[in-house]
Amino acid sequence: MRGELLARLGRVEDARAQLLEAAGLTRNAREAALLRRKAQALGG
């Protein structure tokens, strides 16, 4: 996933944005919640 790759590269703000965008696009509520938690874990 793009957000996770960006996080590994140290691009935290970009990673957060991508994770939140992905959370907004998925129709799966559990997946969206997981993506939001990952974004939150990066800070903010």
pLDDT tens-place string over residues 1-44 = 899 999 999 999 999 999 999 999 999 999 999 999 999 999 86
Structure tokens at 38: 């990952």
- The reported pLDDT for the residue numbered 34 is 97
Q: What's the CA gap between 3 and 36, in Å, rounded?
A: 11
- The reported pLDDT for the residue numbered 1 is 82
Domain that holds residue 25: 2-41
What residues have CB less than 8 Å from 30, skipping those under 6 apart? none
- The reported pLDDT for the residue numbered 9 is 97
Q: What's the CA gap between 8 and 29, in Å, rounded?
A: 25
DSSP structural state of residue 26: -
Count of domains observed in the chain: 1
